Amino acid sequence: MNKRIFAFIDEDAKKEIRRAILKAVAIPGYTIPFASREMPITRGWGTGGLQITLSTLVEADTLKVIDQGCDGSVNAVTMRNFITSVTDVATTTITGEASIIQTRHRIPETPLTEDQILVFQVPYPEVLTTVEPDTAAQKVMHANHDYGKMWVLLYEDTAQFGDSRISHRYPVEINGVYLMDPSPIPKYDIPRLHNNSALMLFGAGREKRIYAIPPYTSVQPLKFEDREFSRETFPGIRCERCGAAGVFFDQVYLDDGIHYYCSDTDFCDRNVAGER
């Protein structure tokens, strides 16, 4: 009795989650239902990503956890503390040293490698929810590559606002087959999904879904042939801490005005340390 289980989740549950992950990797972009166990965190606060991380970790792994690019924000710190308290794995804030990176809403600026796994926390796994609330109808639409309604959304935004209004959770087509919700990463990060060297796993604990983008998979944002996919640009802006330009910035409102800092804190730290 009272024997401590490695990584909190019992082995049967881990097996079920790993099977879901394997199926997700085998069918890129398709959402796989899983049981979603009770976690000591409220559903909707990253339990999907957490369950994937706990089921994937081994003793030799090095873990990095970020929330909106930051290793030090509350969600990242509590996740990291919980995972190390049940596994004793080494942790790092350096992107290049991590073997598993759990993330909320960002992809690190430093390119990932084949030896890394990126685990996303996902609030809304079903990309078609905005146009078709009926889950049975969504399944039929996915099965038949019937994404006309998503195109209409894109058409309406372009007609009324000149471009898509979607700033995050931009719909992407995986391997030319399934349309997928990439979790609330900014448009800025969307091109990084394409042909990435790392395995990318997506977990939605509240919605009980797991899906994946295997390494080197084609990921294309939904767009008209005669329109460019435009992502956020920050013309003339540099990080006030490290001086970097052309990366994704946090906008910080202080009494003396608006300040800009790198959203990816590790990237900023490496710059300050003079490693780039």
Partner 1 sequence: MMLEIEDVSKVYGTGCSDCLELTGNRHGRAICPRCRSVVAVNRVNLQVGANLVLGVVGESGSGKSTLLKLIYRELKTSAGSIYFQADFPDGRKRLNLMELAYRELSIIRNTHMSMIYQDVRRGLNFLFSAGGNIAEKIIAAGERKYDAVREQVLQFSEKIDIPTERVDEYPETFSGGQQQRIQIAKALASSPRLLLLDEPTTGLDVSVQARILDLVKVLHREMGFTMIVVSHDLGVIKHLTDLTVVMKNGSIVEQGLTDQILEDPQHAYTQLLVSSIL
Give the residues lining the site for partner 1 (CB under 8 A).
131, 140, 143-146, 148-149, 151-152, 155-156, 158-160, 224-227
Q: Which two tokens stand for residue 33?
A: 């239902």
- Is residue 259 a contact partner of residue 240, using CB atoms and an 8 Å limit? yes
Whose CA is closest to 108, among 266, 260, 231, 220? 266
Q: Which two tokens stand for residue 260?
A: 């800009």
Q: Around Cβ 76, how many Cβ atoms within 10 Å?
A: 23
Q: Which two tokens stand for residue 87?
A: 């596994």
Taking the complex as a whole, the smallest distance from the CB of residue 144 to partner 1 amounts, in Å, to 5
Taking the complex as a whole, the smallest distance from the CB of residue 171 to partner 1 amounts, in Å, to 14
- Is residue 102 a contact partner of residue 158, using CB atoms and an 8 Å limit? no
Q: With respect to partner 1, which residue has the nearer C-beta, 22 or 152?
A: 152
Q: With respect to partner 1, which residue has the nearer C-beta, 155 or 216?
A: 155
Taking the complex as a whole, the smallest distance from the CB of residue 149 to partner 1 amounts, in Å, to 7
Residue of 203, 205, 239, 274 marked active site:
239
Q: Integer distance in angstroms from the first to the last C-alpha of the chain?
A: 51
* 262 in catalytic set: yes
Whose CA is closest to 266, among 229, 234, 233, 241? 241
Q: With respect to partner 1, which residue has the nearer C-beta, 2 or 160?
A: 160
* 268 in catalytic set: yes
* 242 in catalytic set: yes
* 239 in catalytic set: yes
Residue of 203, 242, 243, 274 marked active site:
242
* 70 in catalytic set: no
Active-site annotation, residues: 29, 239, 242, 262, 268
